[in-house]
Structure 1
Amino acid sequence: MLQIYQALIRSKLDYGGELIESASITEKKRLDKIQAQVPRIVVGAPKDTATEALLRETGEMPLYLRRNLASVKHYIRCYEVNSDLLAEKEEWLKHAKQCFLSRVESMTNTLDHNPSSGEKLSISKYPPWKALLPEVTTYTPNDLKWQKVFHIYTDAAKSKDGRCAVAFVVPEKEIVEQKRLVDGFATAKSELAAIHLAALQILTSTKDNNIVKTSTVDTWRALSRAGTTVSFSWVKGHIGISGNEQADRAAKNGLELEPELSFRKDTNDIRENVEDLLLKKWQGLWDKPKTECGRFTHRHSPDVSRLASFSANQEARFSINQSRSVLIADSPRHAATKLSSVQT
């Protein structure tokens, strides 16, 4: 039910969110009422259940925060393609205090990096189907082809407060290296940084080791020219592969180190930082619930999440929905009535 809402209804509520946020409060409340109805149906809660508790249980961020996120993403897209929208920025700000650009700037001013400081979108002169790129496969431990090669495991870790660390492990040579990145990088960027460091480790043992490479693909191409065959494989986590588990622990331990690696942040990093910022704003609202129902639910679920609290399993979901009324009922009397009906 929640997935149906996200696919068919929420997508319509989000459409044009960067412009709708500038609409009147009355019009936006009409959309908020629609959002409040769906989690009440999904959870099976009574009509008097607080909306803030329902949104927390279903992992649904309030619509106004989602619209602010859409505004920043649209701003970044305009910057990447050099849109005329930003050229008319002063004219926009002159006529409306709550316009699209003023809202974006009020959010991005609190970030370490403004969207205008990120790398712009670069389009390669070669089409993707003609580009020389490495193939990525899935690692299968029982496959004989993986037993005759040199293994290097990489991983990255990111804490809730934005700290990032990377690590790579070479079991055959007993090499474990971990480094802390500067704060605020996207998770995908950190993963690529770990692969890049591992590729440079291989490059130092080849004839081409005096060339400094600035990207993972460049390093892979240099290794290919040097006669070294490199294959990239995705390894499923926590299935007992010792090298992968060691890299995972090393990356997490690297979060306690001092930052020593830095890359220029691109727009993807800024997008993820904005998402983290809005999640913190949602957490701030949830930490001050306005209703007794919200305070009761907060004691059991103090942290917000964009994932639903209940299981996707149909049978488990049914039993949880039956008891959910107890957790988010508005009054102790109502809760006692519901509890007795569930127990019988």
Structure 2
Amino acid sequence: MPILGKQAEGRTNAEKANILANHFKNTSSNDNCTKTFLENKKQKSPDIIAAISDPGSNTSDLNIPFTLTEYRRALKQKKSTSPGNTWGTNKKHLLKLYRVLIRSIIDYGSQVYDSASDNALHALERIQYKALRVALGATKNTPTVSLLAEAGEQPLQLRRNTLTLKYWARTQGHGTQFPPNKLITQAKHTTFKKTKQHKPPYNHKIHSLLSEHNLNNIKITQFHTNPTPPWKLVAPKTSTDILHSTDKKENPIAAKNIALSIIHDKYKNRIQIYTDGSKNQTTDRVGLGIYAPELGIELSIRVTDKCSVYTSELIAIGLALRIVDETKPPGGAVILTDSLSSLQSIESGHSTRITEIHSITNTLQSLHTQNIHTTIEYIPAHVDIPGNDMADSLAKKALDNQTILCNTTYSKEEVYSMIKKSVDKSWADTWLQVGR
């Protein structure tokens, strides 16, 4: 990005600040400039404006690192309370600039350089401390833990741990032969001697991080393509007629009546299968419910703990389709779900749970070849639709089951959520220890 470079030579601090402020105004989407600031911009000489807007072919001066001094001069910490002084910006925008301009650079490659010496890593911590002090307008003697808490920023070591674990979660989906995963496997059978100058590299450190955050037994869904070629797949039949008919928040009674009317008129001769998913946020237990009144089926199935409700909803739809495939109703079937995100994923074919999507589309394809008409219909939740309420009750009942009947792997997004929860707990524990 264009910054001062040689343009700083022979200029006052005020001129330097104006040059940088002009650049931020031209490259940022936020609108923080006051009328006074805009008037000051007009007083700058044309050659400075030209140097910023059109640096020409010689761009060597534009690659000089953005410094905290320039950051401070351009943004003036935060809005001054002095009479008649209206320029500057607030804490929210300063922190946003810190995250975009400084933290992003610190984050880059952190999984690799985390094995650097403590002295090298402390240099980065000083940069973070100074940047946050500028953003918050804090004094030099402000404790680091207080500064980080006020800014909502993790200590850099915790942030590096988070990014390292997320990288591990992303790469696990590529299988054991993916180069980083092969190194991790090899590191299990070797030891690394830690010294002050030599810390464990990524493939060794990841094992201790997984143990620390209880992620050792986590299995992540592998990337794979649908075995059925896309040109042989028939587009799944889905419907959101009820969603576009009325707003359940504004008129839940009307939403209920329209839903019951569509179910009765549109699917009068089809068997109806209601599905739902549920999760206890305290115990992390997950369950699903399936209710098919015409078939006399009521299922309460507990799913792998810590999965998302979205996952349980997709699994429930997949199981409902298998019921249709086994019973082969002559009039066809309709799967009724209150999970709009699941329906949209089935329509688009894109999802964080691509295994479940492939299973659903392949079953729908099989039903189509058997001439068993099957539609997945969206219905609003919690508007007293008897079948939906029954499926919801069955899903909640599944949370009390002592046995997990449906084991599944995790998507990387679900693992991200686990990582965030565990790292946030570590951060909170550190804060409590300091408080003591």
Identity %, equivalent residues: 25
Unaligned runs of 5+ in 2: 1-92, 247-257, 333-355
Distance 1:280 1:104, change over 3 A: same
Please tell me whether the aligned partners of residues 114 and 270 of structure 1 are also in contact (alpha carbons under 8 angstroms). no
Query: Does the Cα contact within 8 Å between 1:118 and 1:265 map onto a contact in 2?
Result: yes
Alignment partner of 1:228 is 2:346: no
Q: In the aligned structure 2, how far is the partner of 1:57 from the partner of 1:246?
A: 46
Alignment correspondent of 1:215: 359
Paired with 1:63 and 1:237, the residues of 2 have a C-alpha distance of 43
* Higher Rg of the two aligned structures: 2
1:49 Cα deviation (Å)? 5.6
AA in 2 matched with 1:282: W
Equivalent residue number for residue 119 of structure 2: 26
Give the match for residue 74 of structure 1.
167
CA contact (8 A) 2:321 2:364 kept: yes
Contact 1:164 1:180 in 2 (8 A): yes
TM-score by length of 2: 0.50
Q: Which amino acid aligns with 1:140?
A: L
Is it true that 1:165 corresponds to 2:326 in the alignment? no
Structure with more contact order per residue of length (Cα contacts < 8 Å, sep ≥ 6): 1
Task: Please point out which of 278, 302, 315 is paired with 2:423.
Answer: 278
Q: Post-superposition shift, 1:141?
A: 5.8
Contact persistence 2:111–2:163 (CA under 8 A): yes
Name the CA shift for 1:92/1:200 in 2 (closer, same or farther; >3 Å). same
Distance in structure 2 (CA, Å) of the matches to 1:134 and 1:59: 44
Instruction: Classify the secondary structure of the residue corresponding to 2:289.
Output: strand
Distance 1:223 1:12, change over 3 A: farther
Any idea what SS the aligned residue of 1:122 has?
coil
Structure 1 residues 123-162: Cα deviation after superposition (integer angstroms, max 9, x where no partner)? 4467878865647675516267955345735233252443
Q: Which amino acid aligns with 2:113?
A: I
**Contact persistence 1:68–1:103 (CA under 8 A):** no
The answer to whether structure 1 residue 104 and structure 2 residue 206 are counterparts is yes
Distance 1:253 1:85 in 2: 42
Residue of structure 2 equivalent to 1:257: 401
Corresponding residue SS for 2:374? coil
**Partner in structure 1 of residue 179 of structure 2:** 84
* In structure 2, C-alpha distance between the alignment counterparts of 1:254 and 1:38, rounded to whole Å: 50
**Counterpart contact for 2:273–2:290, Cα < 8 Å:** no
- Equivalent residue letter for 1:231: I
Shift of the 236–99 alpha-carbon distance from structure 1 to 2, 3 Å rule, reads: farther
Q: Distance in 2 between the 1:41 and 1:65 partners?
A: 22
Q: What's the offset of the Cα at 1:25?
A: 2.7
Shift of residue 104, structure 1, vs aligned partner: 0.7
Q: SS at the partner of 2:245?
A: coil
Classify the secondary structure of the residue corresponding to 1:263. coil
Counterpart in the other structure of 1:12: 105
- Bigger shift: 87-96 or 21-30? 87-96
Structure 2 SS opposite 1:154: strand
Alpha-carbon separation, structure 1, partners of 2:160 and 2:107: 7
1:274-313 equivalences under 5 Å are 274-286=419-431, 288-291=432-435
Quote the Cα distance in structure 2 between the aligned partners of 1:59 and 1:232.
Answer: 42
Offset at residue 109 of structure 1 (A): 3.4
SS in 1 for 2:276: strand
CA shift, 1:46, in A, is: 4.6
Partner residue in 2 for 1:198: 320
CA distance in structure 2 between the partners assigned to 1:134 and 1:56 by the alignment: 49
Q: How does 1:140-159 map to 2 (within 5 A)?
A: 140=243, 142=245, 146=262, 148-149=266-267, 152-159=274-281
Q: TM (normalized to structure 1)?
A: 0.61
Query: Residue 98 of structure 2 contacts residue 132 of structure 2 at CA under 8 Å; is this kept in 1?
Result: no
Cα offset, 1:16, TM superposition: 1.5
Which of 98, 113, 122 pairs up with 2:224? 122
Q: Distance in 1 between matches of 2:389 and 2:129?
A: 42
Would you say the 8 A contact 2:192–2:200 is kept in 1? Answer: no
Instruction: State the distance in 2 between where 1:57 and 1:136 align.
Output: 47
Quote the residue 2:55 is aligned against. Answer: none
Taking the aligned partners of 2:137 and 2:390, their CA distance within structure 1 comes to 44
Where structure 1 has 5 or more consecutive residues not aligned to the other structure, the ranges are: 296-344
